[in-house]
A and B are shown apart, each in its own frame.
Chain A
Amino acid sequence: MSQQTPEGGNAVVTVTDLVAGYLPGVNILNGCSIEARPGELIGIIGPNGAGKSTLLKAMFGLVKIHSGKVVVRGRDITGLKANKLVSQGIGFVPQTNNVFATLTIEENMQMGMFQRPKDFKERFDFVTGIFPELGKRRQQRAGSLSGGERQMVAMGRALMMDPAVLLLDEPSAGLSPVKQDETFLRVHEINRAGVSVIMVEQNARRCLQICDRAYVLDQGRDAYTGTGRELLKDPKVIQLYLGTLAESA
Chain B
Amino acid sequence: MANPTPDESGTAGVRTDAVDYMTDTRPIASEPAAPGCRKRDPILVAKNVTRAFGGINAVDVEYLEVPRHKITALIGPNGAGKTTFFNLLTGFDQPNSGEWTFDGTSLHGVPSYKVSRMGMVRTFQLTKVMGKLKVIENMRLGATRQEGEKLSKALFKNIWGGREREITRHADGLLEKFKLDTKREDYAASLSGGQRKLLEMARALMADPKLVMLDEPMAGVNPALTQSLLDHVRNLKSEGMTVLFVEHDMHMVRNIADWVVVMAEGRIVAEGPPAEVMKDQAVIDAYLGAHHDVDLGAAEGIEVLEHQLAQDKESVVGTADEGILGHGITEQDGRDPDEGRDRKDAP
**A residues lining the B interface (CB < 8 Å):** 1, 3, 47-49, 96, 128-133, 136, 144, 146-148, 173-179, 181-182, 184-186, 188-190, 202, 206, 208-210, 212, 227-229, 232, 241-245, 248
Contact = CB atoms under 8 A, between A and B. Distances in A.
16 contacts: A47-B222, A49-B192, A129-B324, A148-B79, A173-B219, A177-B287, A177-B288, A178-B309, A179-B314, A182-B309, A186-B324, A206-B296, A209-B295, A243-B224, A244-B226, A248-B251
A244 B222 CA distance: 11
B4 to A, nearest CB: 27
* 3 tightest Cβ-Cβ pairs between the two chains A and B: A177-B289, A48-B222, A209-B297
Contact of B78 (A131, A175, A248): A175
Contacts of A186: 323-325
Given A176-B78, A178-B309, A209-B296, A47 B251 contact: no
A118 B170 CA distance: 63
Given A176-B248, A182-B309, A184-B296, A189 B222 contact: no
A245 B312 CA distance: 24
A165 B147 CA distance: 58
Contact of A178 (B221, B296, B314): B314
A228 B344 contact: yes
A189 B324 CA distance: 7
Interface string B225-265: 11100000000000000000000101100100000000000
B223 A208 contact: no
Q: Is the interface of A mostly helix, strand, loop or mixed?
A: helix
Of A96, A182, A190, A209, most buried by chain B (CB within 10 Å of CB) is A182
A174 B79 CA distance: 11
Contacts of A176: 77-78, 248, 287, 314
Interface string B287-306: 11101100111000110011
A132 B222 contact: no
B194 interface: yes
A174 B219 CA distance: 7
A182 B325 contact: yes
Interface of B: 53-54, 77-79, 126, 192-194, 216, 219-227, 248, 250-251, 254, 287-289, 291-292, 295-297, 301-302, 305-306, 309, 312, 314-317, 320-325, 343-344, 346-347
A128 B287 CA distance: 25
B347 A1 contact: yes
B297 A229 contact: yes
A245 B251 contact: yes
Contacts of B79: 146, 148
B291 A177 contact: yes
B297 A49 contact: no
Contacts of A185: 296, 302, 305-306, 309, 317, 325
Contacts of B343: 212
B289 A49 contact: no
A92 B324 CA distance: 20
Contacts of A128: 323
B324 A202 contact: no
A132 B78 contact: no
A50 to B, nearest CB: 9
Contacts of B248: 174-177
Contacts of A248: 251, 254
A232 B325 CA distance: 25
B106 to A, nearest CB: 31
Nearest to B292: A177
A190 B166 CA distance: 58
Nearest to B126: A96
Given A48-B220, A206-B296, 20 more contacts: A1-B346, A48-B194, A130-B324, A136-B321, A177-B248, A178-B287, A178-B291, A179-B78, A182-B309, A185-B296, A185-B309, A186-B323, A188-B296, A190-B324, A202-B220, A210-B296, A244-B223, A245-B251, A248-B251, A248-B254
A242 B223 contact: yes
A206 B305 CA distance: 12
Contacts of A48: 192-194, 220-222, 225
A132 B309 contact: no
Contacts of A181: 289, 291-292, 305, 309, 315
B228 to A, nearest CB: 10
